[in-house]
Structure 1
Amino acid sequence: MDFRPTEDQRDLRAGVRGLLEGRYGREALRAAVDAAAGTGTGAGTDADAGGGSGAGAAVDRGLWRELGEAGFFALRLPESEGGVGLGLPEAVLVFEEAGRALVPGPLVATHLAAGVVPGAAAGTAVVTAFDLAGDLVAYLGEADAVLGAAVLPVGEPVRAVDPLTPLHRVARPGGTEASASAPGYGSASASAYAPGSGSAYVSEGALLTAALQVGSALRTVELAVRYAGEREQFGQPIGAFQAVKHGCAQMLVRAEVARTAVYAAAVTGDPGEAAGAKLLADEAAVRNARDCLQVHGGMGFTWEADVHLHLKRAWVRAEQWRTAAEAEELLAAELLDSAG
């Protein structure tokens, strides 16, 4: 697949990066993390249903509205419906930038809900989804709606690994799992809220989440290379040592391979390619964050470093929309069908 971003697509990506650097740079990220840790939001406590505008909230409502005004959520809506009228290739580019900046919030669910959930396209509503396996829902305490749910469910806060991804445990009627990929989910209920239904609905969510992972994987490459050039041992930067150089090179290869897979899947729209892209992107985000932590050494384990934030977010995203096991099952089924 030969997918090269056009000049317009590159300008779109640069515009989103500029917006996020100015509005959600490192200072804003660290302030949000410290506020969430101080109020217990990241640990899943003290989150009032339907909130999200108070101190310690993971979702910055002001930023959410700015993203809406910039067309982030309405990117794939037709112009006749007030959208931008672009497609999946453009969507993965802007989601990659959001992943690079570690923007918190249910970006994928709100994007999928644009045009059908009031306020989603404009960023005046925060929409989450049953995109985690089991009975967990992210950002429920700050959401105005949940994809596929007629009413906002009530959940019990639980401790979360990522300070900016608060979780709630939700008991669904009949004891069914609250997973977007669970059997039966995404048919009638999901089609009422998202562009596409069933496997197509989950496939889009998985691909956009993969784009977020790619952005994070590329950002950890930047962090590792920069630190390797600044930190000195034995009178020279640690980046001069072969083990560190090879580690950073492997990080770059991992991230670029995943990015290529995401771009290709966005062009073809093939569910199997989207599943493969999610597998590669999850691995790239998690392993790159771990390798970046190793490059930083003891400094990487401290709260002040940003490396742990990328690792924790990558862990959460790896469980969203389509897990590794689910992606492998889908790919195996496609291979069996083609062999038959």
Structure 2
Amino acid sequence: MRFQLTGEQRALREATRQLLERRFDAGALRAAAAEPGLDRVLWRELGAAGVFALRLPEAEGGVGLGLPEAVLVFEEMGRALLPGPVLATHLAAGSVPGAATGEVVVTSVDGALVEWLAEADVVLGDAVGAVPLRSVDPLTPLHRVRASGPEGPDGLDRQGDTDRPDDPEGPDDPEGPDGPDPVAVLLTAAEQLGTATRACELAVQHARTREQFGRPIGAFQAVQHLCADMLVRAETARAAVYAAAVTGDIPDIAAARLLADEAAVRGVRDCLQVYGGMGFTWETEVQLHLKRTWVRAHRGGGITQSEELLARDLLGPGR
């Protein structure tokens, strides 16, 4: 199948990138990482731009576009590392008053984790008794929900964990009523794709300008291989994510999520290799991308549930 973006889709992607470059550039990213907090003015601007109401019908005050367009917008937000519970607010645009316009910030309980709980106006799900966690990503504050169940060695309840496929009929069933929302899984994959793309861009830029032994490090074959592998993984994930946005099939979404997670996590790690030790320092953008990919990888059941869904589809029912 030959997949090409329409002129309107390309214009939407470009407009989203321009908005983010204007309102959340590298300086704003660094400032947000140093002093975490939700920019309510930017949030309302996103609402005015239609980010949250993108898939809401025009009759209900929305933009009236579809999942492919939402994927393009979320890809750009992933590329920019935009902070905030954008996914939860987008999904709640049709049910929570004020979410579509950005006047209300919505978060949700995802398994045992809640992102941006302290900043949210509305919380979907039971977050009573949630305890703050020290998030690896300074741009994504996290809380963990305590439920009634067996505790692990660290004192945290294990009943809410999302990576346990041992009970196919229980709440962790990826196709059950408590399984992850396929749209949420796909839009998370789109964000991961954006990060994978940005990591490749950063690696290539650094390889062209950083010199060792009198020439750019991009002239060395080992660095070229790293950059080529990053590009291949990102473009493979892009094809899968875009195709899943068109078909909307759950197995396609699961496959897209697996490929996007791999492209993001491995891509940023390879980008760190290109940067060398400098990539781990606070001054670079690379380390922030790696931390965000780790946090996103736990959303919507994480890798385990996507693997379970894909395996069931490949093996057939009852296998």
Settle same-fold status: TM greater than 0.5. Answer: yes
- Aligned with 1:297 (options 276, 279, 295): 276
Contact 1:221 1:292 in 2 (8 A): yes
Report the counterpart of residue 22 of structure 1 in structure 2.
Answer: 22
| Residue number in structure 2 paired with 1:82 | 61
1:234 aligns with 2:235: no
CA contact (8 A) 2:180 2:300 kept: no
Instruction: Give yes or no for the alignment of 1:116 onto 2:111.
Output: no
Q: For 1:31 and 1:161, locate their aligned partners in 2 and report how far apart those are by CA, in whole Å.
A: 17
Q: Deviations over 1:208-255 (max 9, x none)?
A: 000000000000100000000000011110001111011101100100
Rounded to whole Å, the distance in 2 between the matches of 1:339 and 1:201 is 21
- Taking the aligned partners of 1:319 and 1:120, their CA distance within structure 2 comes to 24
Moved more, 257-266 or 173-182: 173-182
**What's the secondary structure of 1:74's corresponding residue?**
coil
Partner Cα separation in structure 2 for residue 60 and residue 198 of structure 1: 34
Q: CA deviation at 1:118?
A: 1.4
Q: Secondary structure at the match of 1:246?
A: helix
Aligned equivalent of 2:121, options 112, 132, 144? 144
1:171 correspondence with 2:146: yes
Cα separation, partners in 2 of 1:181 and 1:95, compared to 1, 3 Å:
farther
**Aligned residue for 1:33?**
33
TM alignment of 1:219-230, pairs within 5 A? 219-230=198-209
In the alignment, residue 14 of structure 2 is paired with which amino acid?
A: A
Pick aligned residue for 1:284 from 230, 240, 263: 263
- What's 2:137 paired with? 162
Match of 2:115, as an amino acid? Answer: A
**Separation in structure 1 between the aligned mates of residue 244 and residue 164 of structure 2, nearest angstrom:** 19
Shift of 1:272: 0.7
Mapped contact 2:113–2:143 kept (Cα < 8 A):
yes
Give the superposition deviation at 1:128.
Answer: 1.2
3-state SS of paired residue (1:321): helix
Shift of the alpha carbon at 1:202? 1.2
Distance, in Å, in 2 between the alignment partners of 1:308 and 1:321 is 23
Distance in 1, matches of 2:101 and 2:164, equals 27
Name the CA distance, whole Å, in 2 between partners of 1:185 and 1:172: 15
Q: 1:130 to 1:181 in 2, by over 3 A?
A: farther
Residue 148 of structure 1 deviates from its aligned partner by 3.8
- For the Cα contact (< 8 Å) 2:180–2:301, is it kept in 1? no
- Whether contact under 8 Å (1:275, 1:322) holds in the other structure is no
Residue type at the aligned position of 1:257? T
Percent sequence identity over aligned pairs = 61
Gaps of 5+ in 2: 150-156
Equivalent AA in structure 2 for residue 122 of structure 1: T
Q: Deviations over 1:238-292 (max 9, x none)?
A: 0011110111011001001001100000000001110110100001100010000
Map 1:252-271; keep pairs closer than 5 Å.
252-271=231-250
RMSD of equivalent CA atoms: 2.3
Contact 2:133 2:143 in 1 (8 A): yes
Cα distance in 2, alignment partners of residues 185 and 318 from structure 1: 16
On the 8 A contact 1:110/1:121 being kept in 2, the answer is yes
CA offset digits 1:27-84 (Å, max 9, x no partner): 1000011113xxxxxxxxxxxxxxxxxxxx1x22111111111000000000000000
Q: What is the CA distance between 1:144 and its match in structure 2? A: 1.3
The equivalent residue for 2:223 is 244
2:104, 2:171 → 1: CA distance?
Answer: 26
Structure 1: gaps of 5 or more residues:
37-56, 187-196
Detail structure 1 runs of 4+ shifted over 3 Å in the superposition: 172-176, 178-186, 197-201
CA distance, structure 2, for counterparts of residue 102 and residue 162 of structure 1: 11
Query: Are 1:9 and 2:9 an aligned pair?
Result: yes
